[in-house]
Structure 1
Amino acid sequence: MQEEQFPHFHITSLQHTLQDAPIGVILADGRGRCLFANEACCQIFGVGNLGMRGFGWAGYLPVEDRQPTIDTLKKTVRNRERKNHYKFRIEHPQKGTRDCCADVCLLIAERSKIPHVMMYIRDESAEYEAACGAKAANAAYRELADRMKTMMTLIEDIVFEIDGNKIFRDVWVADESRLFMPKERFLGMTIAGAFGKEWAPMFADPVNQAIQTGRQTTLEYRHTDPAIEKSYRLKVIPIRQRSRPEDQRLIIVIQEITEEVERNRALKETQAGLEQSNELLNISEQLSHTGGWEYNLVSGEVSWTNQMHVILGVSEDADFSTFDSNLPLFPGPDRDVVIQALEKCKVDKLPYTIEVRIVTSRQEIKWVRVRAVPVVENNQVVRLRGALMDITKEKLEAIELLEAKEMAERAAQVKSDFLSVMSHEIRTPLVGIIGASNHLKQVHSPEQEDMLNNLLFSSEHLLRLVNDVLDFNKMESGQLRLIQAEFNLVELIENIKNQFQAMAEAKGIEVVAQVDEVVPSQITGDPTRLSQILYNLVSNATKHTDQGQVTIAVRELSRADTDVTLHFSVKDTGPGIPEVYHEEIFKNFKQLAQLPNQQYVGFGLGLTITKRLVELHNSHIQLKSSPGIGAEFCFDLHFALPSPTTSLKVHPHPSDPIAHPGRLRGMRVLLVEDNQISTKVVSKQLEQLGMVPDCAVDGEEALRYLASAPYSVALVDLHMPKMDGYVLSEIICREYPDIQIIILTADIMAETRLKLAKLNILDILNKPFRPADLVTALSKVKL
C-alpha cells in the first residue's frame, strides 16, 4: 500500500488538535517511543506527560504485556497496516490494574514521510464503564476517532463541516466573534449563500477539488477586507466518501497565519545576509543531498529523516536519537562550533547557519551546511528544526578556486616583475641613444640631419613601444587612471603633426591638421592619453599610406558653460582595410593575412591600447574603411572647460632654459649613476646648462662626495651595486636635508613611485628623458 493512501500529519498541528480530546491518544514513532500523549491519556495512565515520553508509558504495563504491545506497534509500521486493535493492561499508580484497549493507526509525517503510529486508548474497566456507560463510551469513542483521524493535520481555529452539496452541517469555533455571522446561521446554507458571489468561488474551488480527488486541499489568502492586514490558511479534508452527496462529509478549517507569514518574512530577511556570504559557493551545483532533523530541547530527543542516514553513512538501525549521540559525528573543533551556535540560538532566538565537517561511518570527511530555525514557546527555545546539506563538492570547488586565484595573483606578480626588469633593461640603453642624438643635433653637419632625425624618430618610437607594453599591463590589471589637467589642444595637435612630418616627407606624403575655429584651444583633460591615442592612429596611418595625405581633424559637437564634446578623426589615403578585418585589427598583437599591394599588415599593441584608452574616456572608436578609399578612425571625447580666471593666467614654459638663465648656471650637482654611457650623456647635458656636476658610480662613492662639498641637488639612479638609490636617498634625506633629490630611473612601475613617496621623494625623471625634461626638473630646485 502506498504512503499517499495513509493519513499525513504535522506533529505540532496534531498536538493542538488532540490535546483536549476526551479520549486517550498516544503518538509514537516506529519503535514505539512516545512523542506525545494528550491529557486524557495521562489520566488513564495516572502519570504526567513527561512520564509518558519515550518508553516511559510502557513502564506502566505489566512486565508480560510490555514487549507484545511494543511488537504490535512495530508490526503495524513494518507491514504498513492501516489499523490494528488489541487489548492490554496498565498498572495505575492509585487505581491498580486497569483493563484497556487500543486502536493503532498508521500515519505518515507530512515533511519527512516517516511512518508513525497513533494509539486511541480506552479504559474498559468496570469503574470506567459504570461512570460513562459502556454503550455511550463506545459510540463517543468511534465518532471521535473517525473525526480525529481526519483532523490530525489541522490547527485549532475555525472549523466547518459540510456535505457533498457544499451545505454547512456544523461549526466549531472557540471565539464566535471571529465569524462574520452567528454560527447557527451557517447551518443549512451553501458556500455560495454564506460567502456571496464575490468570494464564494475562492472557497468553493478547493472544496470541489477535495470532493473530486478525495484528497486534502489547501489555500492561503489575505483578508477579504484590504484594510485588514491578516493572512489565513484554508484546508479542506474529506472525512467520509459516499455515493450520495448528502451523505459525504468534509471539514473546512480556517486558520489565521498572520504571525507565521510575518515570521517567514523576517526569516527570509535574516537568511539574505547569510546567503550573501555564501554567494561564491552557490554558483556551483545545487546541493544534491539534504536531510531534515528536529531537536527537542526539553526531552533531549533528536529525529532524523531517511536522507540524514544516507548523508552521514549510517544505517537506519543506528541510534542517534539524542543530541549527545550526534556530537561524535563532528570532529573536535567543529563540535565546538555546533555547541556554540546552539547556545547562541537559545539566547538570541534567531535562525542560524553554520558550515562544519562530519566524519561518516566509513571515516570519510564531508563538509555540511547546517541550518536551524528555533521554535519558541513562552519566550524559550523548545525545539530546533532544520536541514543538513552536503556541500563537500562546493567546498572543494571553492578551495580550488581560491588556489587558482592565488596562482593567478602570483602569475600577475611575476609578469609585473618581468615587465619592470625589461623596462629597466631597455630604457637604460635608450638613455644613451636619445641623449647622444640630442647632443649631436646641436653640432651635426647638414649631411647628417636626415640620418639624425631618423635616429631620433626611431628611438622615440622604440620608447613609445615600451610604454605601450607597460600601459597595456596597467589596463589589464585595472591600474590605469586618467588625470585632469589644463592644456592647449591646438598645440597638442600641432606637436603630433610635427613628429611625423619628417617621416611623411620621406615617403612623399603630407600630414595635415584641421581644427575648426570654434574648437576651444584651452581644455581640461588628460593630455598624455589624448596624445597617445592620436600618436598611435597617425603612426599607423603614416606607415600604411604611400601617396596622398594623413589628416588629423577636430570639430565641436556640443558645448555647455563648463564642458565641451569634440569629434576627432584621423583619415588617410592608403589602400584601406576590408570590412572583414575591422574587428580583428583591435586585437592584441594581431597580424592580418597579407593584403594585396600592402607591405605593412601588423598592428601590434597600438590600436588595442588606443581602443582601450578611448573606452577609458567612456567613449568608443569607429573605423570607416574599405579597399581603395583609405581608412578613417574617429571618436568623440568629453572635456571640461577651464574657468576664465584660470585661462587668463600666463605660465612661462618651464622647459625653456632661457626662462631660468641665472638659476641653473653654476649650480653644484651630484650625479650618482653606475652606467657609463648614461653618466656621459647626463653630465654633458648639465655642462651645457652651465652647471658643475660631480659623478659617482655608486652610493658609497656618493657619500664621500657629499662629505667633502656642498650640493644643491643630487641626481640619483635607483639600481646600483653596493648601495642602491633607495638606501642612498634615505641617508641624504636624514643627514643632508637641504639637498634636493631627483630620482633617475628606468623602472616606471607604480610600486616604485609608491616606495619613493614613503621617503617623501616626489621628483622623478623616467629614463630616457629629453634635455627639456631635465631642465624642468632642475628649475624646481630651491636654492
Structure 2
Amino acid sequence: MLDELGSLPAGLAWLKSDIHPNPVVAILGLATNLIVLAAWINHVGRQRIAARTELADWQRTERDRLREQVAQRTLELNEALRYAEGKNQQLIETLGFVSHDLRAPLATITGYARLLLDRADSKQTGLIQSIERTVNYQLGLIDELVGYAKAELQPLNIAPVVTDLPALLDDIAEYAVALCVQLNNQFHYQPLTSLPRQLTIDGLRLQQVLLNLLSNASKFTRDGVVMMTVRARRQDDHWHMGFEVADTGIGIDIEEQSKLLTAFRQIRSVNGSTGLGLFIAQRIVSTMGGDLRVSSTPHRGTSFSFELAVAVAEDRNASPANVVQYSSARSTQILPPSRHRLAVSVPPESDRRELAILAKDGRLTDMERWIETMLRIHPSCAAFLTEMRHCLETLDFAGAEALALAPYETDRAVNGQGLMPDNQAQL
C-alpha cells in the first residue's frame, strides 16, 4: 500500500523484492500458524478429556441402573418361581388325592365283576370280562397318575416288554366295537399281512394310542364305518409295524390339519371331548420313535397312521409267565385268584364287620384309616392288619371283605402253619 501511494522509503525497497525471500514475513507467518495449531490441539485435548469423563460417568450410571434392573427382575423371577412351584405342588397333591380316590369305585366294579363271573352263563361271560378289562385299563392309567404325583415316574414313560400282539389287537378291537355302537357305526379290524406272535413293545402305550384314535373316529362318524388295519414287515432284528385308523366321518379341512395335534385343540365340540386325545397320541408315538400322520377330506373321512420299528422278541419260546397277555371275549373264563389268609390275632368281630362294610363300598381311604386305628388299639393284630393292607395295595376289596368276615374260632392260628384254608376265607 505504501508503494502504491509512493510513500515507501528508499531504505525499505527490499521489502517488495520478488527475487529475495522475505525472512520477517516468513517468521511472522510461521509463528502465527504455530500459535493457531497449538491453540487447536489444546482445544481438542480438552474436548477429549471432557468426552472421556462424560463417557465414564454415563457408563457408571448405566451400570448401576442395569444392576438395579437385574436385581429387580431376579427378585420378580424368584417370586414367580416360588409361586409356580407352590401351584405345581398343589396340583400334584390334588392329582394324587383324586387319583387315589378314583381307584376305589373302579376296584369295587372289578370285584363285583369277578363275583358275577362265578354265576354267569356263556353269553354273559364275555360281557363281564369286557367290563373287567375296561376297568383294569382305567386302573392302569390311574396308577400312572398316582405314580407321577409321587414323582416315581414320568408321564408317558415307555417300558417295552415281550407282548402277545394278536391278543392285544383283538382286545383293542373289542373296545372299538363298543365305541362304534354308540353312533351306529360299523367297525372292521383287518391285518394286511401276517403279524408276529410276540413283540418287544409297550402294549399299554400302543393300546392308549389306538384307543384315542378309535375314540375320535367313532365320535365324528355317524352311521358310517371305522376301520383299523395293521401290517408288519421284518427287517433284520426289527419288525416295522404300520398302524392305521380310518373312518368315513366328517373329515377335516386342510387349514385345520396343521393345528390338529395341539393340546386342547378341538375341531368340533363333542360331549366328553377335551381336545387332548390326539395330542397324547402324538406324544406317545413320537416317544416310541414314530410320527403320527393325518390324511383327511371334508365330508369323506379321516385317516391317522403311524409306523414303529419294534425289536423282535429275544426269546421266541418265552413262557407265558414272561409274556404280557391280553384277554379277549373268546378267552377262557377269568376266576378270582385263590389265596391263603393269615389266621392270627384279629380285631373284635364288631370292628371287623365295620371293615367289611367299608370294603363292600370300596371306601379305600376309610379302610386305611381303620387299619391305622386298629394298629394303635390292637398292636397284637399286626399280622392280620398287614394282610389287610396287602389287599388294599392290590385293590382286592372282595378279598378284604372276605378276610374281615371269615369265621375265627380263636385269636390264634387255626392250624399249625398259621394259615386258614381257602374254603374258610371265602364268603
TM-score band, normalised by the shorter chain?
Answer: 0.5 to 0.7
Whole-Å separation in 1 of the counterparts to 2:138 and 2:155 = 23
Shift of 1:521: 2.5
Spell out, residue by residue over 1:428-484, the C-alpha distance to the aligned partner (whole angstroms, 9 max, x if none): 33333443344335436899889978976886787688679889999xx96542112
Whole-Å separation in 2 of the counterparts to 1:710 and 1:489 = 41
Q: Please name the residue that 1:412 is paired with.
A: 88
Is the aligned partner of 1:424 residue 2:100?
yes
Is the aligned partner of 1:632 residue 2:317?
no
Q: Please name the residue that 2:219 is paired with.
A: 543
- The aligned runs of 1:103-114 (5 Å cut-off) are 106=42, 113-114=48-49
- Note if contact 1:435-1:682 (Cα within 8 Å) is conserved in structure 2: no
What secondary structure is seen at the aligned counterpart in 1 of 2:316? Answer: helix
Q: Please name the residue that 1:568 is paired with.
A: 243
Whole-Å separation in 2 of the counterparts to 1:590 and 1:616 = 21
TM-score by length of 2: 0.62
- The aligned runs of 1:631-670 (5 Å cut-off) are 631-643=302-314, 646-652=315-321, 664-668=338-342
Shift of 1:534: 1.0
Whole-Å separation in 1 of the counterparts to 2:87 and 2:286 = 26
Is the aligned partner of 1:499 residue 2:175?
yes
- Note if contact 1:589-1:602 (Cα within 8 Å) is conserved in structure 2: no
- Note if contact 2:96-2:145 (Cα within 8 Å) is conserved in structure 1: no
Is the aligned partner of 1:397 residue 2:77?
no
What secondary structure is seen at the aligned counterpart in 2 of 1:638? Answer: strand
Q: Please name the residue that 1:698 is paired with.
A: 371
Shift of 1:550: 2.4
Whole-Å separation in 2 of the counterparts to 1:544 and 1:440 = 35
Spell out, residue by residue over 1:553-588, the C-alpha distance to the aligned partner (whole angstroms, 9 max, x if none): 11135622x223211111223333333433444333
- Note if contact 2:290-2:307 (Cα within 8 Å) is conserved in structure 1: yes
- Note if contact 1:536-1:607 (Cα within 8 Å) is conserved in structure 2: yes
Shift of 1:496: 0.7
Is the aligned partner of 1:714 residue 2:387?
yes
Q: 56, 79, 95: which one pairs with 1:308?
A: 56
Whole-Å separation in 1 of the counterparts to 2:295 and 2:95 = 35
- Note if contact 1:509-1:549 (Cα within 8 Å) is conserved in structure 2: yes
- Percent sequence identity is 22
What secondary structure is seen at the aligned counterpart in 2 of 1:577? Answer: coil
Whole-Å separation in 2 of the counterparts to 1:503 and 1:469 = 24
Is the aligned partner of 1:579 residue 2:254?
yes
Q: Please name the residue that 2:279 is paired with.
A: 608
- Note if contact 1:545-1:575 (Cα within 8 Å) is conserved in structure 2: yes
- Note if contact 2:100-2:146 (Cα within 8 Å) is conserved in structure 1: no
Cα distance change, pair 699–554 in 1 and its aligned pair in 2 (3 A)? same
Spell out, residue by residue over 1:396-425, the C-alpha distance to the aligned partner (whole angstroms, 9 max, x if none): 333323332332222222221222222223
Whole-Å separation in 1 of the counterparts to 2:309 and 2:354 = 45
Q: 163, 168, 172: which one pairs with 1:487?
A: 163
More helix as a share of residues = 2
Cα distance change, pair 437–668 in 1 and its aligned pair in 2 (3 A)? same
Whole-Å separation in 2 of the counterparts to 1:493 and 1:306 = 78
- The aligned runs of 1:244-263 (5 Å cut-off) are none
- Note if contact 1:567-1:635 (Cα within 8 Å) is conserved in structure 2: yes
Cα distance change, pair 440–403 in 1 and its aligned pair in 2 (3 A)? same
What secondary structure is seen at the aligned counterpart in 2 of 1:524? Answer: strand
Shift of 1:493: 0.8
Whole-Å separation in 2 of the counterparts to 1:639 and 1:461 = 23
Q: Please name the residue that 1:83 is paired with.
A: 38
Cα distance change, pair 681–493 in 1 and its aligned pair in 2 (3 A)? farther
Unaligned runs of 5+ residues in structure 2 are 1-34, 400-418, 420-427
Spell out, residue by residue over 1:502-539, the C-alpha distance to the aligned partner (whole angstroms, 9 max, x if none): 45456554433322444322221222111111111122
Letter in 2 for 1:641: V
Whole-Å separation in 1 of the counterparts to 2:386 and 2:286 = 41
Cα distance change, pair 591–505 in 1 and its aligned pair in 2 (3 A)? closer
What secondary structure is seen at the aligned counterpart in 1 of 2:93? Answer: helix
More strand as a share of residues = 1
Q: Please name the residue that 2:228 is paired with.
A: 552
- Note if contact 1:547-1:573 (Cα within 8 Å) is conserved in structure 2: no
Whole-Å separation in 2 of the counterparts to 1:451 and 1:489 = 22
- Note if contact 2:375-2:382 (Cα within 8 Å) is conserved in structure 1: no
- Note if contact 1:584-1:590 (Cα within 8 Å) is conserved in structure 2: yes
Shift of 1:607: 1.9
What secondary structure is seen at the aligned counterpart in 2 of 1:106? Answer: helix
Is the aligned partner of 1:680 residue 2:349?
no
CA RMSD of superposed structures (Å): 5.1
Shift of 1:551: 2.0
Is the aligned partner of 1:588 residue 2:289?
no
Whole-Å separation in 2 of the counterparts to 1:478 and 1:461 = 18
TM-score by length of 1: 0.37
Q: Please name the residue that 2:208 is paired with.
A: 532
Cα distance change, pair 507–695 in 1 and its aligned pair in 2 (3 A)? same
Cα distance change, pair 81–458 in 1 and its aligned pair in 2 (3 A)? farther
Whole-Å separation in 2 of the counterparts to 1:696 and 1:482 = 35
Structure number with greater Rg is 1
- The aligned runs of 1:120-159 (5 Å cut-off) are none
Cα distance change, pair 439–393 in 1 and its aligned pair in 2 (3 A)? same
Q: Please name the residue that 1:168 is paired with.
A: none
Cα distance change, pair 640–455 in 1 and its aligned pair in 2 (3 A)? closer
Letter in 2 for 1:565: H
Q: Please name the residue that 2:405 is paired with.
A: none
- The aligned runs of 1:55-204 (5 Å cut-off) are 82-83=37-38, 106=42, 113-114=48-49
Cα distance change, pair 307–674 in 1 and its aligned pair in 2 (3 A)? farther
Letter in 2 for 1:649: A
- The aligned runs of 1:212-223 (5 Å cut-off) are none
Whole-Å separation in 1 of the counterparts to 2:234 and 2:36 = 86
Whole-Å separation in 2 of the counterparts to 1:623 and 1:608 = 13
Cα distance change, pair 310–588 in 1 and its aligned pair in 2 (3 A)? closer
Whole-Å separation in 2 of the counterparts to 1:571 and 1:695 = 47
Letter in 2 for 1:309: D
Whole-Å separation in 2 of the counterparts to 1:589 and 1:770 = 39
- Note if contact 1:673-1:695 (Cα within 8 Å) is conserved in structure 2: no
Whole-Å separation in 1 of the counterparts to 2:281 and 2:131 = 25
Q: 195, 210, 227: which one pairs with 1:519?
A: 195
Shift of 1:605: 2.2
Shift of 1:498: 1.8
What secondary structure is seen at the aligned counterpart in 1 of 2:199? Answer: strand
- The aligned runs of 1:258-277 (5 Å cut-off) are none
Letter in 1 for 2:244: S
